[in-house]
Amino acid sequence: MKWEIIHAEMTVAEDGGYVGQVQFKIEGHKQAYEIALQSNKRGKDWAYGLFFKDEAGPEAEIEAVEEELEDNDEFYEALIAAAKDALKQD
């Protein structure tokens, strides 16, 4: 699955953890996606929510992206890295 990151941002939460979001496209999918990211203070344990960016798209497509996030560590880590890089630039 080929992806392209189109926007990323991250902030430090009040509890010292991190909160961010990354918008990205998947080649061949009708809609772009947004992943919301949240971590603990150490930035080691991450939780996420996956959404269509602008409007709903085919359920099969978002399910495929969800499966890719679960199975492809490189993809998931690239999204986290993009958000971390956005924090460093602020």
Query: In whole angstroms, what is the distance from residue 21 CA to residue 13 CA?
Result: 13
Write out pLDDT tens, residues 16-65. 889 999 999 999 999 999 999 999 877 778 999 999 999 999 999 999 99
Query: In whole angstroms, what is the distance from residue 44 CA to residue 17 CA?
Result: 10
The model carries a pTM of 0.90
